[in-house]
């Protein structure tokens, strides 16, 4: 049984035409009508509400009497006052629903559930919870009063040092800890970049297809996204130069292009760096899952080729550890350290220090590197098993793109099938997928499903899920 907290009741309006008892009555009636208070839920006692709102008890009792007379609440003596069980509202208040564009449901890139094929989720069943719990308990025991104040806005010094050392070895990035800024996720990273280096009206190259939240964020900041097509060699830099040679920045995913999983070729990497140097533009390298490459070793980062200080490297712990950690990082050129420190002082509140301390220990003691290696082997197995299971059931109805790395598969729909409509049907059936056409700005992509394979534990599981998809085709 839920209990309405008195602290959730906002101060009343003394300037309103309605008396206080009527305002209280309206608030409870609205909460019941909208479903925030359900039949059987307890509500605050008249005494508690009197103390909370600082009103005369008679005022509260008048409002409660009116609610009781109309059948909304019932007094149960010492058991308290509750919303009337089996209450049936004559005119229930309709809950406002978000509007969809063009009659198509708006895709969510942050679902709060765990569904088969859900994008962005690492293998949660393989996460080393015991090690994490042990490190967490140790960090809690070691906490001092100084660890309980506001965290450093640039990130915990120990974590910045560990990230810099890890990137030097794994991604070929030569940077100092002062160049590393710890953020609370990709969006926070992009906000820092936008406020430090860009302004309203600036044009920014984006891969097409590409990660939708990036263009949504730019639009929110009144910047113009320039869709640059992608082929088997990644972003077509020459097309970007034709479309907007004087753009202020380019956002790219060179390791595994999001969502096509192709890698930006060396000639195009060099061409992109040359363009940025000539135009004094910035390159944002989003290396969201560069650790997961299955046909060879992970590719060096684009940042490792940067000799002119034009590349900002964005990494995250969400794909390697888990999304709920809300921890990412940004490596900026040495010349930009001071500007980013100023912006961080204004915008950054600092990520929770305890979480940063646990991640620092996780990396320093070698658990992070071992975890990445284990996940790389596991994902190679699950990728193969998932693809085999889907192909065995769906047969000629889909074609799975070959790809060297990443955490998801691309299922090309054969025939004139709408990926958006199929995604909607799958969501209703408890299956997750994303439509490739939702990732395009020009709307020219062929219909395809994006399916994460990291949490599919066997070919048999993949076949069972494929049968559910088959019924929806």
Tell me the average pLDDT across 193-221.
94
Is pLDDT at 472 greater than 90 in this prediction? yes
**309 to each of 55, 66, 312, 319, how far by Cα in Å?**
63, 69, 8, 27
Strand order in the sheet with 448-452: 398-400, 408-413, 448-452, 434-435
**168 to each of 154, 240, 360, 415, 435, how far by Cα in Å?**
19, 30, 16, 47, 36
Give 324-377 pLDDT, tens digit per residue.
Answer: 999 999 999 999 999 999 999 988 777 899 999 999 999 999 999 999 999 999
- Name the pairing type of β-strands 328-331 and 311-316: antiparallel
Give 107-148 pLDDT, tens digit per residue.
Answer: 455 566 789 999 999 999 999 999 999 999 999 999 999 888
**397 to each of 24, 410, 434, 469, how far by Cα in Å?**
59, 13, 17, 11
**118 to each of 102, 153, 178, 335, how far by Cα in Å?**
24, 32, 36, 39
pLDDT of the residue at 93: 43
Task: Specify the CATH architecture of the domain 127-365.
Answer: 3-Layer(aba) Sandwich (3.40)
Poorest-confidence range of 90-94, 155-159, 439-443, 451-455?
A: 90-94
Is pLDDT at 96 greater than 70 in this prediction? no
- Phi/psi class of residue 80: alpha, beta or left (left: φ > 0; alpha: ψ in -120 to 50)? left
Query: What's the DSSP call for residue 324?
Result: G
* Cα–Cα distance for residue pair 41/308, rounded to 1 Å: 63
Look at the domain 380-472 and name its fold: 3.90.1150
Strand partners, 74: 82
Is pLDDT at 35 greater than 60 in this prediction? yes
Average pLDDT, the chain: 89
* Pick from 399, 464, 471, 404: nearest CA to 436: 399
Is pLDDT at 272 greater than 90 in this prediction? yes
Tell me the average pLDDT across 431-445.
88
Q: Which residue has the tokens 């799975």?
A: 400
Query: Could you say which of 1.20.1440.230, 1.10.1200.10, 1.10.10.10, 1.10.443.10 is the CATH number of the domain covering 6-83?
Result: 1.10.10.10
**18 to each of 14, 33, 264, 303, 421, how far by Cα in Å?**
9, 20, 65, 63, 49
Enumerate the domain spans of the chain: 6-83, 127-365, 380-472
Beta carbons within 8 Å of 209's beta carbon, 6+ residues apart:
230, 259, 260, 436, 439, 440, 441, 445
Tell me, yes or no, if the pTM score tops 0.85. Answer: no
pLDDT of the residue at 217: 92
């Amino acid at each position: 049984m839920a209990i309405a907290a008195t602290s959730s009741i906002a101060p009343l309006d003394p300037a309103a035409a309605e008396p206080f008892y009527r305002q209280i009555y309206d608030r409870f009636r609205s909460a019941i009508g909208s479903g925030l208070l359900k039949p059987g839920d307890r509500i605050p006692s008249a005494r508690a509400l009197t103390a909370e709102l600082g009103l005369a008890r008679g005022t509260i009792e008048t409002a409660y009497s009116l609610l009781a007379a109309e059948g909304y609440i019932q007094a149960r003596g010492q058991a308290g006052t509750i919303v009337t069980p089996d209450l049936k509202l004559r005119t229930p208040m309709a809950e406002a629903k978000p509007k969809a564009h063009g009659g198509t449901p708006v895709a969510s890139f942050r679902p709060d559930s765990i569904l088969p094929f859900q994008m962005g989720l690492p293998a949660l069943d393989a996460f080393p919870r015991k090690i994490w719990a042990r490190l967490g308990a140790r960090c809690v025991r070691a906490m001092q009063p100084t660890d309980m104040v506001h965290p450093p806005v640039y990130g915990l010094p120990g974590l910045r040092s560990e990230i810099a050392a890890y990137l030097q070895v794994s991604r070929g990035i030569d940077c100092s800890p002062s160049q590393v800024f710890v953020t609370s996720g990709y969006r926070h990273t992009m906000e820092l970049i936008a406020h430090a280096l860009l302004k309203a009206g600036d044009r920014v190259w984006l891969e097409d297809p590409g990660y939708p939240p990036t263009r949504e964020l730019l639009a929110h900041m009144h910047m113009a996204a320039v869709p640059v097509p992608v082929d088997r060699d990644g972003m077509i830099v020459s097309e970007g130069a034709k479309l907007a040679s004087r753009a202020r920045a380019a956002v790219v995913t060179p390791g595994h292009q999001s969502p096509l999983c192709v890698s930006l070729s060396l000639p195009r990497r060099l061409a992109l760096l040359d363009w940025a140097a000539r135009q004094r533009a910035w390159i944002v390298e989003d290396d969201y899952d560069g650790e997961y490459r299955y046909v060879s070793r992970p590719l060096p980062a684009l940042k490792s080729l940067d000799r002119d200080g034009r590349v900002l490297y964005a990494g995250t712990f969400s794909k390697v550890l888990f999304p709920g950690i809300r921890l990412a990082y940004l490596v900026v050129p040495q010349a930009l350290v001071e500007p980013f420190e100023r912006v961080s002082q204004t915008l950054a509140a600092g990520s929770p220090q305890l979480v940063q301390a646990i991640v620092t220990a996780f990396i320093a003691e070698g658990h992070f590197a071992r975890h990445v290696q284990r996940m790389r082997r596991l994902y190679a197995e699950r990728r193969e098993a998932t693809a085999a299971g889907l192909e065995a059931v769906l047969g000629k109805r889909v074609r799975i793109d070959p790809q060297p790395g990443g955490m998801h598969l691309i299922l090309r729909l054969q025939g004139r099938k709408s990926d958006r409509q199929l995604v909607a049907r799958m969501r209703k059936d408890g299956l997750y997928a994303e439509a490739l056409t939702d990732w395009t700005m020009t709307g020219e992509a062929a219909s395809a499903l994006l399916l994460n394979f990291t949490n599919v534990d066997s070919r048999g599981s993949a076949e069972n899920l494929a049968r559910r998809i088959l019924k929806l085709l």
